[in-house]
Homo-oligomer: A and B are copies of this chain.
């Protein structure tokens, strides 16, 4: 990226040794004010900037973290990525985005991250079995791996997520107050869904209240059309009196798909069937959706994650509380 000058060149220009140049750029290094000024001038003239690659090779730290993502269909990932990148940047770190897909799996990603000497790896809501993580990280207890927006059952792999239990309790208490008594749940892909624990918390709540969950289904992708299809099928195969009166969806995208199907079928929302989502994506507030949802505290989640990443905070799994957002759909 453009031939830049080296410390040796600046040294020659300033009439000092290259190590003195390094010192001029090292905060808190013992160097005479006079020479420092002279060096900085020469450096500016030559547009010198320390080569961070060489520095990393020497210091064994790259100040860059790998962020693994496998589902780009959910809009909430965008502001989260934005916040994550910004927060890391504020601390002098850079985030490298690694797309996990059919052609590039977790193995390859982690191998690449190791070879490139990343300081840490963040699994951002990726679908992966915990056993696989253990295998990938080679059983190492101090492998700098963090999970964001998903739970892990591995004690040595800290995660930061939205507290599903607290969220579901708050949502369901609201549903109870509103008089809903025939709850249903629309889940996403099994592995991911399990790691989120939302369905579990949802069922636990109603079980405690002695209310049966009358409908449960899972769609293969976090995709509004998949959700719409599932709901359409449900409506087509279930007479109105047997249907749920409240459909809790695992995330907002699924909820939006559900709304679509209900509207198409002429089912009144929320009179005939209420709908709620999860995440709190920006678009949920549109009148077209008016979606009741639970907002993930993604800003705080990112902040906590980065603190752990930087070692400012001990690496411990954290579940953060979000915020119930009541709108017209439920």
Contacts and interface: CB of A to CB of B under 8 A. Distances in A.
A193 interface: no
B72 A62 contact: no
A77 B82 CA distance: 11
Contact of A138 (B2, B64, B259, B283): B2
Interface residues of A, number: 65
A96 B94 contact: yes
A297 interface: no
Given A49-B115, A52-B116, A1 B81 contact: no
Contacts of A94: 96, 98, 112, 116
A260 to B, nearest CB: 6
A90 interface: yes
B115 A52 contact: yes
B89 A78 contact: no
Nearest to A95: B97
A60 to B, nearest CB: 9
A62 B96 CA distance: 13
Interface string A57-98: 100001010010100110101110110011001100011111
A92 to B, nearest CB: 9
A97 B99 contact: no
A121 interface: yes
Contacts of A64: 96, 116
A138 B4 CA distance: 12
A62 B94 CA distance: 15
B96 A97 contact: yes
A224 B52 CA distance: 41
Interface of A: 1-2, 4, 47, 49-54, 56-57, 62, 64, 67, 69, 72-73, 75, 77-79, 81-82, 85-86, 89-90, 94-99, 101, 103-104, 111-121, 137-138, 140, 143-144, 224, 256, 259-260, 263-264, 282-283, 286-289
26 contacts: A1-B114, A1-B117, A1-B119, A2-B138, A47-B138, A51-B117, A53-B53, A53-B62, A53-B116, A53-B117, A64-B96, A72-B79, A73-B282, A86-B101, A86-B103, A86-B104, A89-B98, A89-B99, A89-B104, A94-B98, A94-B116, A224-B282, A256-B286, A263-B287, A283-B283, A288-B288
